[in-house]
Structure 1
Amino acid sequence: MLHKFSVKNFRNFTDWLVFDLSSQQYEFNTNAVNNGIIQHAMIYGPNGGGKSNLGLAMVDPVLHLTDSPNYLSSLDINYLNGGMNVTIAEFAFEYRIDGSEIRYNYGKKSREGMVYESLFINEERILHVDRRQSNQASIHLQGAEHLKSDVGTSEISLLKYVRSNTILDETPTNQLFSKLLSFIEGMVFFRSLDSTKTGDYIGKNIGVKRLSQSIIDNNSVNDFEQFLNDAGVKCSLKVKTNSNGEEGIYFDYGKTSLEFGLAASTGTLSLGIFYFWWLRLAKKEITFAYIDEFDAFYHHALAAKIVERVTNTRCQTIMTTHNTGIMSNDLLRPDCYFVLDKVISPITALTGKELRKAHNLEKIYKGLSS
C-alpha cells in the first residue's frame, strides 16, 4: 500500500506537497485502515485547489513503468509547473509491502523523460541514476549483474530497464521489487464527471473502449440492472445487437428498446462508468484507485451507498468530492477525511478538538470553512 506521497513542481504544485496516509487510533470503521495506513480516504478542497492534479501525480509512475499506458493527453502539454526556472517535476513515494518499507523517488522533465531515480528497500539503495551528474547507474539486484550500467542518453525508467532486460533471482528483495511493480501496474485514476468514455482514465491499458462491451463480456448485465435499481434508477435492461453487429446494453420498455448510452441521463451514465470500474475493483484487478469527483451527479444518499460499496473492497482508494453530507463517521473515520488547500491535512489536524465517533464531522468542517 501507499503510505506517504510528496510532489513538487508538477502542474499547480510549486512547493513540496506532502500527503501522509498514516492512520490514527480509532476503534471504529477499522475496514478503512490496514496495518496503520489509510486504505480509504476522502479529499475535500476548493475548486482549482489541486485535487485532480494530486490524483494525476499519485498515479504518475504508471506512465513510465507500464507498457503503453492509457493517459490524459493534457499531460503531454501541461506537465511541469509554470514557475520560473522549473525544469523537472519531483515525486517521492513511500510504500509498505509485506511489512517492508520501500521508497521510490524520481524527477522527470516530461511525461516520459526521466532525469533521476532512486529505489530503496528497507533503507538499502537498490537502484539509482541521476543523469544530471552521470549516465552511470547503480543496480544492486541479484540476477541483474550482466546489465550495462551506462544508460547513455536514454530517458527510460531504470526500474523498467531492469524489469524488461532481466530474469531476477528469487530473493526476498527481488520479490519485493516485483510486488512493487505489480502494485503500480494496478493503479488507476478515473473520474465520472460528464465523460461517457471508458478511455478517460490513467492506468494500464485494459483494451476496452465500450462500457457495455465490458459488462456484457463479464456476464454482469443482470447485476448492473440490479445496481441501477438499487441506486434509484428503475429500469429493465437487455442485450441487443445493432445493425453493425455490435452487442450493446439497452433499456427494455417491452415493445421498444433504447441504447443505454443514448437514453441514459448524465447521472445514470455516471453510474455506468462507476460500475464499469467497480467490476475491476471487485475482481482485485486494481490495487489503488483515485476516483475524482466520484459523486458529481449523485444525490448524497446515493453517494453514501457508493462509498459503502467502495470501502468494502481491499483496494486502496482515494475519492474527491465537495459533498459534505458524506463527511460522516458512519462511513469512514476522522483520520480518513482530508482537506487540500495549499497543503493537505486530515480534518483531525485542523481542529483543536479530539474528534470522537459521536462528533458531527460535517458541522465541524463547515465551521472551519466559514
Structure 2
Amino acid sequence: MFLKKFSVKNFKNFKNTFCIDFSDVKNYHYSNQCISHGLIKNAIIYGKNAIGKTNFGLAMADITYHLVDKNGVAKSVINYCNADAESDIVSFSYVFQRDKDEIIYQYGKKTAKELVSESLSINNQLVFSFDYVKQTGNFDHLEKYNLDTLNWEFRDNGISVLRYMANNLPLDEKNPVREVMKFVNGMLWFRSLGNNNEFVGFSTVTESMADFIIKNGYVNEFEDFLNTYGVHEKICAATQADGKKSLFFKHARLVPFFEASNGTSALLTFFYWYKQAKNISFLFIDEFDAFYHYELAEKIVRLLEDKFPIQAVLTSHNTGLLSNRIMRPDCYFLLLPDKIISLANATDRELREGYNLENLMKHGEFDE
C-alpha cells in the first residue's frame, strides 16, 4: 500500500486546504528511481522559514494519534487548530493506493485525539461514516468487507470506528481496514536537531539509540556506516561509571559519543531508524540535512532512493539538491503560503533534463 494523496485544512498555519498529490507523475525519462507503482516515491519539500514545512509533516503524521498508540511530540498537539479560522474543526484526507483499489480515509478533529467525524470509502463506495457529535452514522455497506459482525454496544464513544473494527474483528491480511491500520502503524515522522531528537508514530520504545545499537550487535555496522558517510572514527561499546554500556569514540582515551558533532549525532539518528526500515511504511524526515555537508546530504538522498522501498519525504533548504541527476521536477515541491506545488507545476516551461533547477529556482522561475 502507498499514500497516493494527502490534504489538510485548518491545521496550525494551514487555514485553507493544502494537498500533496503523489500520483501527479509527469512523463520524464530520467531519475526514475524516485517513482514506484506510478507514484512519487521520493520527494523533497522546500519553503521559506516559518512557512510550515514542519507543520505539514506533523499533519501527515496526525493519523497516528487516534488510530495507533505511538509516541508523538508535544508541538503537534498544541495550537492545533488554525488561529484565524472560523471553524474549530481540522479536516484531514488520506487517499491510499492498494493494487488497483483506492481507499479514502477522512476525518475531522478538534484536538489530536478528539474526533468529530470519520469515514472510509473504497473505489468511491462508502464503507462507513460516523458523526461523533450526533452519534449517528452510515453502516449500510459493512457486509461486503466482512465488517458487519461487530458488537457496537461496547464501543467507547471516543474510540475511532476504524480502530474499533480493526481491533475487534478477525480480519484477514488483505482486508482494507487491516491494511490501512498496518500502514498507519508504520508511519514515521522524525527530525534530529543536535541532541534534540523528536519523532511521531511507528514506535513506542523509549530505549536510547545507543542502547538499541549495542543490544542488537550493530556497533561495527554503525562504525562502517559513519566511515562510509565521511565520519572516519572507530566506535566501541564500553561500560560507564554507572555500570551501563554506552557508545564511545576509540582514541588513546575513550570519548563519549554524546560529545559528537551535531552532524554525527544526526547520522546516529538516521542509522537508528534505517535499521528499522523494513517495518516503516511511510517516512517523513524534517530538516533532514540541517547539519550535513552538501555531499553527505546527497548521499543520504541516494541511500533513501536506492535502499528504501517505501515513500520518503524530506524537507530542506539545500538548493544544491535541486538537480535532475538526483530527482525530477515532479518530485521537488514548494510549500507556499496558499498551497504546495511541484516544480513541474510551478512553471509553464518544459523542464528538460539538462536544465539547472537550482539556478532556475534562484532566478525566480518558480515564484508565484
Q: TM-score range with shorter-chain normalisation?
A: over 0.9
Q: 1:318 to 1:19 in 2, by over 3 A?
A: same
Q: Where does residue 320 of structure 2 map in the other structure?
A: 325
Deviation at 1:119, TM superposition (A): 0.5
Q: Where does residue 240 of structure 1 map in the other structure?
A: 238
Query: 1:9·1:15 contact (CA, 8 Å) conserved in 2?
Result: yes
CA offsets per residue over residues 241-273 of structure 1, 9 Å max, x none?
A: 2232322111000x3101111x20111111111
What aligned pairs does 1:213-224 form with structure 2 within 5 A after superposition?
A: 213-224=211-222
Deviation at 1:171, TM superposition (A): 8.9
Query: 1:107·1:114 contact (CA, 8 Å) conserved in 2?
Result: yes
What aligned pairs does 1:74-153 form with structure 2 within 5 A after superposition?
A: 74-136=75-137, 138=139, 140-141=142-143, 142-149=145-152
Q: Where does residue 194 of structure 1 map in the other structure?
A: 194
Separation (CA, whole Å) in 2 of partners of 1:108 and 1:30:
37
Separation (CA, whole Å) in 2 of partners of 1:290 and 1:96:
18
Deviation at 1:353, TM superposition (A): 1.2
CA offsets per residue over residues 107-154 of structure 1, 9 Å max, x none?
A: 011110011001011222112101244434526155433334578872
Separation (CA, whole Å) in 1 of partners of 2:5 and 2:165:
25
1:299 to 283, 293, 301: 293
Question: SS at the partner of 1:120?
Answer: strand
Separation (CA, whole Å) in 2 of partners of 1:158 and 1:37:
29
TM-score normalised according to structure 2 size: 0.92
TM-score normalised according to structure 1 size: 0.92
Separation (CA, whole Å) in 2 of partners of 1:278 and 1:152:
37
Deviation at 1:167, TM superposition (A): 1.6
Separation (CA, whole Å) in 2 of partners of 1:195 and 1:6:
32
Mapped pair 1:158 → 2:158: no
Separation (CA, whole Å) in 2 of partners of 1:241 and 1:180:
43
Kindly report the root-mean-square deviation, in angstroms, between the aligned alpha carbons of the 2 structures. Answer: 1.9
Q: Where does residue 9 of structure 1 map in the other structure?
A: 10
Q: Where does residue 185 of structure 1 map in the other structure?
A: 185
Deviation at 1:84, TM superposition (A): 4.5
- Name the aligned partner's letter for residue 304 of structure 1: E
Separation (CA, whole Å) in 1 of partners of 2:239 and 2:196:
20
1:276 to 272, 278, 281: 272
Q: Where does residue 257 of structure 1 map in the other structure?
A: 254
Instruction: Determine what percentage of the aligned residue pairs are the same residue.
Output: 37
Q: 1:35 to 1:204 in 2, by over 3 A?
A: closer
Query: 2:15·2:85 contact (CA, 8 Å) conserved in 1?
Result: no
Separation (CA, whole Å) in 1 of partners of 2:5 and 2:52:
17
CA offsets per residue over residues 143-188 of structure 1, 9 Å max, x none?
A: 43333457887222111111122223x496xx22211211111101
- Name the aligned partner's letter for residue 288 of structure 2: F
Question: SS at the partner of 2:355?
Answer: coil
Separation (CA, whole Å) in 1 of partners of 2:344 and 2:220:
42
Separation (CA, whole Å) in 1 of partners of 2:184 and 2:17:
22
Query: 1:135·1:153 contact (CA, 8 Å) conserved in 2?
Result: no
Mapped pair 1:346 → 2:342: yes
Mapped pair 1:315 → 2:316: no
- Point out the more displaced range, 10-19 or 122-131: 122-131
Mapped pair 1:358 → 2:360: no
Query: 1:135·1:151 contact (CA, 8 Å) conserved in 2?
Result: no
CA offsets per residue over residues 288-326 of structure 1, 9 Å max, x none?
A: 011000000111111001110111110110000000001
Question: SS at the partner of 1:192?
Answer: strand
1:336 to 331, 335, 341: 331
- Name the aligned partner's letter for residue 48 of structure 2: P
Deviation at 1:50, TM superposition (A): 1.0
Separation (CA, whole Å) in 1 of partners of 2:200 and 2:128:
26
Query: 1:137·1:149 contact (CA, 8 Å) conserved in 2?
Result: no
Query: 2:329·2:344 contact (CA, 8 Å) conserved in 1?
Result: yes
Question: SS at the partner of 1:335?
Answer: coil
- Point out the more displaced range, 12-21 or 222-231: 222-231
Question: SS at the partner of 1:91?
Answer: strand
- Name the aligned partner's letter for residue 162 of structure 1: M
Uncovered stretches (5+) of structure 2, i.e. residues with no partner: none
Separation (CA, whole Å) in 1 of partners of 2:289 and 2:94:
28
Deviation at 1:48, TM superposition (A): 0.9
Query: 1:137·1:150 contact (CA, 8 Å) conserved in 2?
Result: no
Query: 1:44·1:322 contact (CA, 8 Å) conserved in 2?
Result: yes
Query: 2:8·2:19 contact (CA, 8 Å) conserved in 1?
Result: yes
Uncovered stretches (5+) of structure 1, i.e. residues with no partner: none
- Name the aligned partner's letter for residue 72 of structure 2: Y
Separation (CA, whole Å) in 1 of partners of 2:327 and 2:173:
38
CA offsets per residue over residues 180-235 of structure 1, 9 Å max, x none?
A: 211111101001222444xx200133414311111222322112112212222221
Mapped pair 1:56 → 2:58: yes
Q: Where does residue 280 of structure 2 map in the other structure?
A: 286
Question: SS at the partner of 1:116?
Answer: strand
**Moved beyond 4 Å, runs of 4+:** 148-153
- Point out the more displaced range, 24-33 or 102-111: 24-33
